Amino acid sequence: MAAKSIISRPVYGTLSPQPGKHHLFIADAEGALAISDMAARAPAGFFDGAEIDFIPGPNNEHVAALEALKPARFHLAPSFASLLPRLKQTLGNAHMGLRLYLAGTEGLIGQAMQVALEAGIDHTSVQTEHRGSLARRMQCVHCKGITENVTTQPATCSHCGLLLLVRDHYSRRLAAFQGVCINAEDRSEIPPMEEAFP
């Protein structure tokens, strides 16, 4: 019997070139591979009106491959937080018909989707492709703090220190999975931590 899918969990597709003059790509790490794969199917001149905002991995992998696509604008950012003001401005000044493509980790896709929704872009009109780590962005339901790149089950909240069960429930509004205290009744009960989201 197949496992029932989690209704709140985002469903990711595969990037495909869409008609239009303005294309905005937001990607991190292996998300660059999704853009490169899509570029192989794109018509000539597709990237002439494109902007690629890329957060590379620690060794700057895939930067040369994205630059080789010769987008109209190419921007490197060290983190999503540093990219955020640029992204807000770009989406705030966007014209009708902008095509938005998000590729990479779930954390990047969720946060970029959140900014797009705030800018008035419907989530069904944004293309997404998950590539790379399955690490989760988690919100502690107790202190409301966000912990990035959670790979274990349970996980420790980076804000209040509680040991949390990382639930499969995903909040689009917060762009995070929910974490709830796993040992609320007896704090001395500490279940073993296992890699669950590599």
Task: Give pLDDT, residue 72.
Answer: 96
Size of the chain in residues: 198
Cβ distance 97 to 69 under 8 Å? no
Over the stretch 154-172, which tens digit does the pLDDT of each residue have?
999 999 999 999 999 888 8
Q: How confident is the model at residue 1 (pLDDT cuts 50, 70, 90)?
A: very low
Task: Give pLDDT, residue 2.
Answer: 44
Cβ distance 163 to 181 under 8 Å? yes
- The pLDDT mean for the chain works out to 92
Task: Give pLDDT, residue 137.
Answer: 94
Q: Name the residue with higher pLDDT: 11 or 165.
A: 165
The domains of the chain, with CATH numbers, are 23-130 (3.40.50.80), 136-195 (no CATH)
The pLDDT of residue 145 is above 60? yes
Task: Give pLDDT, residue 38.
Answer: 97
Q: Name the residue with higher pLDDT: 4 or 40.
A: 40
To which residue do tokens 């000044």 refer? 93
Q: What is the mean pLDDT of the segment spanning 133-142?
A: 94
Q: How confident is the model at residue 58 (pLDDT cuts 50, 70, 90)?
A: confident
Cβ distance 27 to 104 under 8 Å? yes
Task: Give pLDDT, residue 173.
Answer: 85
Task: Give pLDDT, residue 4.
Answer: 54
